[in-house]
Amino acid sequence: MSLRVCCIDDSPLCLYGLRHCISAAGHTIVGELDSFSQLDEFLSRVPCDVLVSEVHVRGLDVFYTCQWIVDKYPGIRLIIYSYDDNPTHIARASALNAWDYVPKRYAVQRLIQACESVPTGQRCTDSLIESAKQFLQHHHKPVEKILPPLTKREYQILIHLSLGLSNREIGKSLSIGMETVKEHVQNVLRKLQFNDRTAAAIWSLKNGVPTLSCDTHA
């Protein structure tokens, strides 16, 4: 199946490379954008199956800028293709329900595989998004240093906080409402005796709270 792909990157060289490899795989480049400002108008008039985007484009963040794509254009799958593959961004992409996250250090064929998995409705077996979803939604065994103990849900919240996710992203990741997220966050901070989520995140990283570990094989 030939896919219609739109690429977003502020590097002309990267756009050129994407055009070459995606076209060589038999798919059609329907758009090459160098900013997010043009995206809504473009998608409203040009049919598109896959959106391939860098994390940061002209100083703007794909997670904030494109969080409406999933809701407004449910037929379009977002694949993040980035030099930046830190666990926080992968976790945020998972909460955004991006289709995949492919580091640019990977062989370009991995990006093609991610694109071609879209029509199947099944992510690649080594998908970083799939790994992140399983990690974030899993009930991990709490570390023993937490007294008083957190509930299973509060410990999940703490893991999300340690990765720097916002309340909105936590809610999307765990499929719970914003008010519920706020209540859990407040309970976590109260039990750990911290005034803010940053302090809780730092404590988590220092005290063995599980964090997302993503394979970055080339």
The per-residue pLDDT for range 1-51, each reduced to its tens digit, is 899 999 999 999 999 999 999 999 999 999 999 999 999 999 999 999 999
Q: Which residue's structure tokens are 């990157």?
A: 9
pLDDT: is 109 or 84 the higher one? 109
Pick the CATH number of 138-206 from 1.10.10.10, 3.40.50.970, 3.90.1710.10, 2.40.110.10: 1.10.10.10
pLDDT digits (tens, 9 = 90+) for 187-209: 999 999 999 999 999 999 899 99
pLDDT digits (tens, 9 = 90+) for 164-191: 999 999 999 999 999 999 999 999 999 9
Of the chain, the percentage scoring pLDDT greater than 90 comes to 83
Q: How many CA atoms lie within 13 A of 12 on its CB side?
A: 0
Pick the CATH number of 4-126 from 3.40.50.300, 3.40.50.800, 3.10.450.50, 3.40.50.2300: 3.40.50.2300
- Distance from the Cα of residue 22 to its chain's centroid: 22
pTM above 0.75, yes or no: yes
- Cα–Cα dist 11/196, whole Å: 37
- The partner residues of 33 in beta bridges, in order of sequence, read 8
- Cα–Cα dist 68/148, whole Å: 39
- The partner residues of 53 in beta bridges, in order of sequence, read 8, 80
